[in-house]
Structure 1
């Protein structure tokens, strides 16, 4: 434990691997305990180790132990710091035991609401100031935010993100874990399977229960504004939770918040694309036609798109046409059991296909081989 960090190879491609907690480090990993403070000589460590704790974890290997962040928040100084040469890095994260936690780095969210013990995910991040500053932070109040392992690999000497499709939305869009085998799914999670990977990476920043105001003001939009650039896309689907009376958002208020986000993202050079939410599985009439055109503040979303001159993927109508074609029983099979709102993995895949197909039809993204 506590060894100094060796210099990377001349091509910068050898990854750094960190195994957190007070158990023995796995082979090829650098062991890091909660009390290991950052020093310039070591080149990694916790900025405020007094706010860290070693904890057990329910997995095996690197997942058998972890460190817990006792102070957290995207702007918290209680970070794990690693000195890195400038460049673009891929960071793979393995959490310890946690109900729901997000990963932040460089003061903004990177991965939203990872769920389940030992959850894993990865993200690209440009490092320009010689150091990565990362922490696990709040996804759900009152739960533990723990980190079992990190792998950090430089993928380019140029600290610029690949062309990116940023996705914002709610629980019908969000990612669920394990990413490759989750029962529930969001279309943002499955979208990478339907987009040409040589043209775009997909970064899904959607979260369950989210409303337009919360996405704008709670830190998720901040991530997109920090990193988005010309050539990127921003797909934004909101409205389902905004229409819930408890969220106290009128349609007029919703419309102006959506307009504000469109304008802020457009100012970065990225291209906003608005998406309308699909309806419920049960939105069939007596003739077997599915329609939900009056749900979820859809008309306000269409109005913002028209007034701001941005494209819209009317997933509400696209999904209804698909549901009508396959019928009520097959439609219900694309939703979670006993739930007419949230798609399962198969349903999310179909919605992602519909979104990608319409983006291609409009010439917004190139065709994907699928």
Structure 2
């Protein structure tokens, strides 16, 4: 049996098994009405925040840990923040995931967003990933003195029964991200200068989106197409268990596929795309951003046995799905700036990994392209006018 036939057979078997497994799950994010997952809203004013929140040291954002009985990860929380007066604010969640930033959305009296939580808070399978807590963690860069009220409502992790008849779009759109260290929720690294903090573009993307969508980031350092293969991928399994009709899935894999043969890479990504489509979700392929190594676009992510950009373009055309050529856009950006100037957006002495400023640049490129291509993700951008 050829490897391609094996993939097809195993993929079909997996699909049958996943339909069986997920028949007791729901695609939507309803709030439970009874039992241990009963709806619980936590409202914290200035006095409660003073006892609930703490700051480890000067210059580090104030941290608030919120545990709600009966809500276990993975879970979703609707967060609403009312400010006494409009002013600058920056709010992170979990492992330094940027949720709201007045420099992006402008000053306002209120802000709201949906936070996905899991354990660990940071990267899913890295041994040194930020563990965090089983509940919700929020970080306030400017402290909580200006907060009039913080309201947190959990979305239950025990949804109603899933059937083919009710397999419709969820109440909240969910955006899954599959990728590597250039995409993932890196550790907080609060002790480091902003320019030295490793930051994935998926880590800052939530701040550019409105409160009708929740980002679920399963990107992980050092991982490539193998970790997301539909046969036995360690990171594919938790994504497949949660994926529902109406979800959007961004896929940026290739940085860590240096030794993967072209044919195997195409088979893995194609099978992943087919599975996502079969669940009624919408896959989007993204070419990896460039390494800042001053080479031509044609030589970026080009290995003896794999041309990542060409492979992704071919898959997108064959599958009829969107392709965001982040590699080309970032190459044009680096070329315009010059290698030395562009290095300010990467971690010092690192030509691959962006810092916070660089993560913003790549997230903006992605959203700009989504808007240009009129992709579903564009409907959830709250900063479309800036592009």
Into which bin does the TM-score normalised by the smaller protein fall?
0.5 to 0.7
Q: Does 1:90 align with 2:77?
A: yes
* Pairing 1:337-356 to 2, within 5 Å after superposition: 337-356=348-367
RMSD (Å), alpha carbons: 4.2
Stretches of structure 2 lacking an aligned partner (at least 5 in a row) = 1-34, 44-49, 80-92, 97-113, 138-151, 160-169
Task: Give the one of 195, 203, 206 matched to 1:189.
Answer: 203
Task: Say if 1:308 and 1:179 are closer, same or farther in 2 by CA, change over 3 A.
Answer: farther
Q: Deviations over 1:239-284 (max 9, x none)?
A: 11101x3xxx201100100001101111111100000011111234
Stretches of structure 1 lacking an aligned partner (at least 5 in a row) = 1-6, 16-25, 30-58, 64-79, 93-110, 116-121, 126-132
TM-score relative to the length of structure 1: 0.60
Task: Say if 1:322 and 1:14 are closer, same or farther in 2 by CA, change over 3 A.
Answer: same
User: Match for residue 240 of structure 1?
Assistant: 255
Deviation at 1:177, TM superposition (A): 2.6
Task: Give the one of 233, 246, 253 matched to 1:231.
Answer: 246
Task: Give the one of 185, 204, 210 matched to 1:175.
Answer: 185
Q: Does 1:215 align with 2:228?
A: yes
Task: Say if 1:204 and 1:312 are closer, same or farther in 2 by CA, change over 3 A.
Answer: same
Q: Deviations over 1:152-189 (max 9, x none)?
A: 96445794672111111111111123288671111111
- Give yes or no for contact 2:119–2:131 (8 Å, CA) kept in 1: no
Q: Secondary structure at the match of 1:210?
A: coil
Alpha-carbon separation, structure 2, partners of 1:224 and 1:161: 19
Report how many residues are paired: 266
Structure having the higher strand fraction is 1
Deviation at 1:146, TM superposition (A): 6.2
TM-score relative to the length of structure 2: 0.57
Deviation at 1:230, TM superposition (A): 2.5
Q: Does 1:263 align with 2:291?
A: no
Deviation at 1:148, TM superposition (A): 5.4
Alpha-carbon separation, structure 2, partners of 1:151 and 1:271: 28
Q: Does 1:150 align with 2:135?
A: yes
Task: Say if 1:146 and 1:276 are closer, same or farther in 2 by CA, change over 3 A.
Answer: closer
User: Match for residue 8 of structure 2?
Assistant: none
- Give yes or no for contact 1:91–1:124 (8 Å, CA) kept in 2: no
Alpha-carbon separation, structure 2, partners of 1:291 and 1:199: 38
Q: Deviations over 1:175-225 (max 9, x none)?
A: 123288671111111212333x13422221101110101133343222222
Task: Say if 1:83 and 1:150 are closer, same or farther in 2 by CA, change over 3 A.
Answer: closer
User: Match for residue 173 of structure 2?
Assistant: 163
Q: Secondary structure at the match of 1:206?
A: coil
User: Match for residue 334 of structure 1?
Assistant: 345
Task: Say if 1:10 and 1:309 are closer, same or farther in 2 by CA, change over 3 A.
Answer: closer
- Give yes or no for contact 2:225–2:257 (8 Å, CA) kept in 1: yes
Q: Secondary structure at the match of 2:172?
A: coil
Task: Say if 1:229 and 1:314 are closer, same or farther in 2 by CA, change over 3 A.
Answer: same
Structure having the higher helix fraction is 2
